[in-house]
Protein backbone atom coordinates (compact mmCIF):
# COMPACT_ATOMS: atom_id res chain seq x y z
CA UNK A 1 0.00 0.00 0.00
CA UNK A 2 1.29 3.40 -0.99
CA UNK A 3 2.52 5.96 1.49
CA UNK A 4 -0.08 8.67 1.85
CA UNK A 5 2.22 11.11 3.55
CA UNK A 6 5.99 11.49 3.52
CA UNK A 7 7.82 14.17 5.47
CA UNK A 8 11.56 14.49 5.10
CA UNK A 9 13.66 16.75 7.30
CA UNK A 10 10.84 19.24 7.83
CA UNK A 11 11.98 22.38 9.65
CA UNK A 12 9.90 25.36 10.60
CA UNK A 13 11.13 28.65 11.94
CA UNK A 14 8.95 31.57 12.92
CA UNK A 15 10.22 35.08 12.53
CA UNK A 16 8.92 36.76 15.65
CA UNK A 17 9.50 40.36 14.63
CA UNK A 18 13.12 40.39 15.66
CA UNK A 19 16.17 39.51 13.58
CA UNK A 20 16.10 36.22 15.41
CA UNK A 21 14.20 33.36 13.88
CA UNK A 22 12.92 30.79 16.29
CA UNK A 23 12.96 27.27 14.98
CA UNK A 24 10.12 25.19 16.39
CA UNK A 25 10.43 22.06 14.21
CA UNK A 26 13.97 20.75 13.98
CA UNK A 27 13.85 18.18 11.20
CA UNK A 28 10.78 15.94 11.22
CA UNK A 29 10.85 12.66 9.31
CA UNK A 30 7.52 10.91 9.17
CA UNK A 31 5.73 8.47 6.89
CA UNK A 32 2.07 7.54 7.11
CA UNK A 33 0.36 4.83 5.13
CA UNK A 34 -3.15 4.91 3.83
CA UNK A 35 -5.67 3.74 6.43
CA UNK A 36 -3.61 4.45 9.54
CA UNK A 37 -5.20 5.86 12.69
CA UNK A 38 -2.48 7.73 14.53
CA UNK A 39 -2.26 9.73 17.75
CA UNK A 40 0.10 12.70 17.96
CA UNK A 41 1.05 13.52 21.54
CA UNK A 42 3.45 15.84 23.29
CA UNK A 43 3.59 18.75 25.70
CA UNK A 44 2.03 22.10 25.00
CA UNK A 45 4.26 24.24 22.78
CA UNK A 46 6.18 21.27 21.38
CA UNK A 47 5.12 21.97 17.77
CA UNK A 48 2.14 19.66 17.19
CA UNK A 49 -0.15 22.31 15.70
CA UNK A 50 2.70 23.72 13.63
CA UNK A 51 3.28 20.23 12.24
CA UNK A 52 -0.41 19.68 11.52
CA UNK A 53 -0.65 23.04 9.73
CA UNK A 54 2.30 22.09 7.53
CA UNK A 55 0.92 18.64 6.76
CA UNK A 56 -2.45 20.25 6.05
CA UNK A 57 -0.86 22.68 3.58
CA UNK A 58 -2.04 25.65 5.63
CA UNK A 59 1.54 26.69 6.24
CA UNK A 60 4.80 25.99 4.43
CA UNK A 61 7.87 24.49 6.05
CA UNK A 62 11.05 26.56 6.16
CA UNK A 63 12.88 23.61 4.63
CA UNK A 64 12.36 19.94 3.97
CA UNK A 65 10.07 17.98 1.72
CA UNK A 66 6.41 17.06 2.06
CA UNK A 67 4.66 14.65 -0.27
CA UNK A 68 0.97 13.85 -0.11
CA UNK A 69 -0.58 11.05 -2.13
CA UNK A 70 2.58 10.81 -4.20
CA UNK A 71 2.65 14.52 -4.99
CA UNK A 72 5.66 16.56 -3.92
CA UNK A 73 4.17 19.78 -2.56
CA UNK A 74 7.43 21.71 -2.26
CA UNK A 75 7.12 23.77 -5.41
CA UNK A 76 3.36 23.88 -5.82
CA UNK A 77 1.70 27.27 -6.28
CA UNK A 78 -0.78 28.58 -3.72
CA UNK A 79 -3.63 27.70 -6.08
CA UNK A 80 -2.41 24.13 -6.48
CA UNK A 81 -1.93 23.79 -2.72
CA UNK A 82 -5.47 25.04 -2.14
CA UNK A 83 -6.87 22.56 -4.62
CA UNK A 84 -4.84 19.64 -3.23
CA UNK A 85 -5.88 20.60 0.30
CA UNK A 86 -9.57 20.85 -0.63
CA UNK A 87 -9.66 17.44 -2.25
CA UNK A 88 -7.29 15.48 -0.05
CA UNK A 89 -7.45 16.81 3.50
CA UNK A 90 -10.17 17.31 6.08
CA UNK A 91 -9.67 19.32 9.26
CA UNK A 92 -11.18 19.04 12.71
CA UNK A 93 -10.03 21.59 15.27
CA UNK A 94 -10.47 21.91 19.01
CA UNK A 95 -12.93 24.69 18.37
CA UNK A 96 -15.38 23.54 15.71
CA UNK A 97 -15.36 26.73 13.55
CA UNK A 98 -18.88 26.06 12.38
CA UNK A 99 -20.86 29.06 11.18
CA UNK A 100 -23.10 29.38 14.20
CA UNK A 101 -26.08 30.99 12.46
CA UNK A 102 -26.08 28.28 9.78
CA UNK A 103 -27.82 24.95 10.19
CA UNK A 104 -25.98 21.67 10.61
CA UNK A 105 -26.82 20.82 7.01
CA UNK A 106 -25.58 24.16 5.67
CA UNK A 107 -22.32 23.80 7.57
CA UNK A 108 -21.69 20.35 6.13
CA UNK A 109 -22.48 21.65 2.64
CA UNK A 110 -19.88 24.39 2.94
CA UNK A 111 -16.74 22.62 1.60
CA UNK A 112 -18.66 21.39 -1.44
CA UNK A 113 -20.00 24.91 -2.08
CA UNK A 114 -16.51 26.35 -1.86
CA UNK A 115 -15.38 23.73 -4.36
CA UNK A 116 -18.26 23.86 -6.84
CA UNK A 117 -19.74 27.33 -6.36
CA UNK A 118 -23.40 26.40 -6.06
CA UNK A 119 -25.47 23.67 -4.48
CA UNK A 120 -26.96 20.74 -6.34
CA UNK A 121 -29.08 17.80 -5.27
CA UNK A 122 -26.13 15.40 -5.11
CA UNK A 123 -24.44 17.70 -2.58
CA UNK A 124 -27.64 17.99 -0.56
CA UNK A 125 -27.90 14.22 -0.48
CA UNK A 126 -24.26 13.74 0.48
CA UNK A 127 -24.56 16.21 3.36
CA UNK A 128 -27.68 14.41 4.56
CA UNK A 129 -25.95 11.03 4.43
CA UNK A 130 -23.05 12.33 6.46
CA UNK A 131 -25.33 13.91 9.04
CA UNK A 132 -27.12 10.57 9.31
CA UNK A 133 -23.83 8.77 9.77
CA UNK A 134 -22.84 11.06 12.64
CA UNK A 135 -26.32 10.47 14.06
CA UNK A 136 -27.50 14.01 13.60
CA UNK A 137 -30.00 13.47 10.81
CA UNK A 138 -32.79 14.81 12.98
CA UNK A 139 -30.74 17.90 13.78
CA UNK A 140 -30.28 18.76 10.11
CA UNK A 141 -32.12 22.08 10.25
CA UNK A 142 -30.94 23.19 13.67
CA UNK A 143 -28.54 26.08 13.82
CA UNK A 144 -25.08 25.19 15.03
CA UNK A 145 -25.38 27.68 17.89
CA UNK A 146 -28.25 25.68 19.36
CA UNK A 147 -26.34 22.41 19.50
CA UNK A 148 -24.22 20.92 22.29
CA UNK A 149 -20.42 20.90 22.11
CA UNK A 150 -20.37 17.21 21.25
CA UNK A 151 -22.99 17.66 18.54
CA UNK A 152 -21.12 20.62 17.08
CA UNK A 153 -17.95 18.57 16.91
CA UNK A 154 -19.84 15.77 15.15
CA UNK A 155 -21.09 18.30 12.59
CA UNK A 156 -17.47 19.44 12.20
CA UNK A 157 -16.44 15.83 11.53
CA UNK A 158 -19.19 15.43 8.95
CA UNK A 159 -17.97 18.64 7.33
CA UNK A 160 -14.37 17.38 7.39
CA UNK A 161 -15.43 14.19 5.61
CA UNK A 162 -17.79 15.60 3.03
CA UNK A 163 -15.14 15.93 0.30
CA UNK A 164 -14.12 12.34 0.99
CA UNK A 165 -10.55 13.27 2.02
CA UNK A 166 -7.79 10.69 2.17
CA UNK A 167 -6.43 12.29 5.32
CA UNK A 168 -8.16 13.89 8.28
CA UNK A 169 -6.09 16.08 10.59
CA UNK A 170 -7.65 16.60 13.99
CA UNK A 171 -6.04 19.07 16.40
CA UNK A 172 -7.25 18.29 19.93
CA UNK A 173 -10.73 17.53 18.60
CA UNK A 174 -12.00 16.43 22.00
CA UNK A 175 -10.14 19.02 24.06
CA UNK A 176 -13.26 21.03 24.88
CA UNK A 177 -15.57 18.11 25.46
CA UNK A 178 -16.70 16.20 28.52
CA UNK A 179 -15.57 12.59 28.76
CA UNK A 180 -18.71 11.05 27.31
CA UNK A 181 -18.87 13.44 24.34
CA UNK A 182 -15.13 13.03 23.75
CA UNK A 183 -15.58 9.30 23.67
CA UNK A 184 -18.39 9.58 21.14
CA UNK A 185 -16.42 11.90 18.87
CA UNK A 186 -13.38 9.64 19.01
CA UNK A 187 -15.41 6.52 18.27
CA UNK A 188 -16.95 8.29 15.32
CA UNK A 189 -13.53 9.00 13.82
CA UNK A 190 -12.50 5.43 14.47
CA UNK A 191 -15.59 4.16 12.70
CA UNK A 192 -14.93 6.26 9.61
CA UNK A 193 -11.37 4.98 9.64
CA UNK A 194 -12.53 1.37 9.70
CA UNK A 195 -15.43 1.65 7.31
CA UNK A 196 -13.91 3.91 4.68
CA UNK A 197 -10.19 3.51 5.24
CA UNK A 198 -9.83 7.25 5.89
CA UNK A 199 -6.44 8.03 7.43
CA UNK A 200 -6.46 10.03 10.67
CA UNK A 201 -3.78 11.98 12.50
CA UNK A 202 -5.18 13.12 15.83
CA UNK A 203 -3.53 15.41 18.35
CA UNK A 204 -4.62 14.45 21.83
CA UNK A 205 -3.43 14.79 25.41
CA UNK A 206 -5.73 12.02 26.49
CA UNK A 207 -3.85 8.74 27.04
CA UNK A 208 -7.03 6.68 27.11
CA UNK A 209 -7.94 7.94 23.65
CA UNK A 210 -4.40 7.57 22.34
CA UNK A 211 -4.50 3.97 23.50
CA UNK A 212 -7.21 3.34 20.95
CA UNK A 213 -4.97 4.41 18.08
CA UNK A 214 -2.82 2.04 16.02
CA UNK A 215 0.28 4.11 16.40
CA UNK A 216 1.47 6.82 18.77
CA UNK A 217 3.86 9.58 17.76
CA UNK A 218 5.27 11.91 20.37
CA UNK A 219 6.82 15.29 19.67
CA UNK A 220 8.94 17.05 22.28
CA UNK A 221 10.60 20.39 21.57
CA UNK A 222 10.13 20.10 17.82
CA UNK A 223 11.51 16.58 17.46
CA UNK A 224 9.86 13.19 17.24
CA UNK A 225 10.87 11.37 20.41
CA UNK A 226 8.65 8.35 19.96
CA UNK A 227 6.99 6.69 17.01
CA UNK A 228 5.69 3.24 17.71
CA UNK A 229 2.87 0.89 16.95
CA UNK A 230 0.48 0.83 19.85
CA UNK A 231 0.45 -2.65 21.37
CA UNK A 232 -2.54 -1.63 23.47
CA UNK A 233 -4.61 -0.64 20.43
CA UNK A 234 -8.10 -1.83 21.21
CA UNK A 235 -9.21 -1.57 17.63
CA UNK A 236 -6.90 -3.06 15.02
CA UNK A 237 -6.66 -1.47 11.59
CA UNK A 238 -9.46 -2.34 9.22
CA UNK A 239 -7.32 -3.26 6.27
CA UNK A 240 -4.31 -5.33 7.23
CA UNK A 241 -1.43 -4.79 4.86
CA UNK A 242 -1.02 -8.37 3.76
CA UNK A 243 -0.08 -8.07 0.13
CA UNK A 244 2.28 -5.97 -1.90
CA UNK A 245 -0.45 -5.43 -4.48
CA UNK A 246 -3.05 -3.96 -2.11
P1 LIG B 1 1.61 22.73 20.27
O2 LIG B 1 0.49 22.61 19.29
O3 LIG B 1 2.37 21.45 20.45
O4 LIG B 1 1.13 23.25 21.58
P5 LIG B 1 2.56 24.85 18.55
O6 LIG B 1 2.87 24.22 17.25
O7 LIG B 1 1.27 25.60 18.65
O8 LIG B 1 2.68 23.76 19.71
O9 LIG B 1 3.72 25.85 18.94
C10 LIG B 1 5.08 25.48 18.93
C11 LIG B 1 5.94 26.70 19.23
O12 LIG B 1 5.86 27.62 18.15
C13 LIG B 1 5.50 27.48 20.46
O14 LIG B 1 6.64 27.93 21.12
C15 LIG B 1 4.71 28.62 19.90
O16 LIG B 1 4.75 29.73 20.75
C17 LIG B 1 5.42 28.88 18.60
N18 LIG B 1 4.52 29.42 17.56
C19 LIG B 1 3.41 28.83 17.09
N20 LIG B 1 2.84 29.56 16.12
C21 LIG B 1 3.62 30.66 15.99
C22 LIG B 1 3.57 31.82 15.13
N23 LIG B 1 2.61 31.98 14.23
N24 LIG B 1 4.55 32.75 15.29
C25 LIG B 1 5.53 32.58 16.18
N26 LIG B 1 5.64 31.52 17.01
C27 LIG B 1 4.70 30.57 16.91
MG1 LIG C 1 -1.55 22.90 19.49
Query: What pLDDT, in 10s, does the model give residues 78-134?
Result: 999 999 998 899 999 888 789 999 999 999 999 999 888 888 999 999 999 999 989
Residue nearest to atom 27 of ligand 1 (CA): 14
Q: What is the pLDDT of residue 237?
A: 47
Structural domain boundaries of the chain?
A: 35-61+78-229
Dist. CA 218–CA 198, nearest whole Å? 21
Asked if residue 23 has its Cβ within 6 Å of ligand 1, the reply is no
pLDDT band at 233; cut points 50, 70, 90 = confident
What is the pTM for the complete model shown?
Answer: 0.90
Residue nearest to atom 19 of ligand 1 (CA): 50
Cβ-proximal residues to 30 (8 Å cutoff; 6+ apart), any chain? 5, 6, 7, 10, 217, 224, 227
Q: What is the pLDDT of residue 231?
A: 78
Q: What is the pLDDT of residue 235?
A: 52
Q: Which ligand approaches the C-alpha of residue 48 most closely?
A: 1
The secondary structure of 13-76, three-state, reads: EEECCCCCEEEEEEEEEEEEECCCEEEEECCCCCCHHHHHHHHCCCCCCCEEEEEECCEECCCC
Q: Is residue 90 classed as helix, strand or coil in its secondary structure? A: strand
Query: What pLDDT, in 10s, does the model give residues 137-189?
Result: 999 999 999 999 999 999 999 999 999 999 999 999 998 888 988 998 899 99
Q: Ligand 1 pocket: which of 23, 25, 40, 49 to mutate (most atoms <8 Å of CB)?
A: 49
Is pLDDT above 50 for 234? yes
Residue 43 CA, ligand 2 centroid: distance in Å: 9
Average of pLDDT values for 62-75?
94
Residue 149 CA, ligand 2 centroid: distance in Å: 19
Is pLDDT above 80 for 18? no
Q: Ligand 1 pocket: which of 11, 24, 42, 94 to mutate (most atoms <8 Å of CB)?
A: 24
Residue nearest to atom 20 of ligand 1 (CA): 50
As assigned by CATH, the class of the 35-61+78-229 domain is alpha beta
Dist. CA 182–CA 123, nearest whole Å? 28
Average pLDDT score over the chain: 91
Work out which ligand 1 atom sits closest to the CA atom of 203. 2
Q: What is the pLDDT of residue 19?
A: 75
Q: Which ligand approaches the C-alpha of residue 59 most closely?
A: 1
- Bridge partner residues of 226 (DSSP): 218
Residue 50 CA, ligand 1 centroid: distance in Å: 6
Amino acid sequence: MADLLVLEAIRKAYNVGTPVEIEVLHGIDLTMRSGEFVALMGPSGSGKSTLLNIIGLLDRPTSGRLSIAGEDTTHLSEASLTSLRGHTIGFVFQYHYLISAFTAHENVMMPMLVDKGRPDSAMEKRADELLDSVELGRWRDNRAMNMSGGQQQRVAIARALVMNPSLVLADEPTGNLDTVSADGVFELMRRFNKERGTTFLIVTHNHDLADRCDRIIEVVDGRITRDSPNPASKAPAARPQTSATG
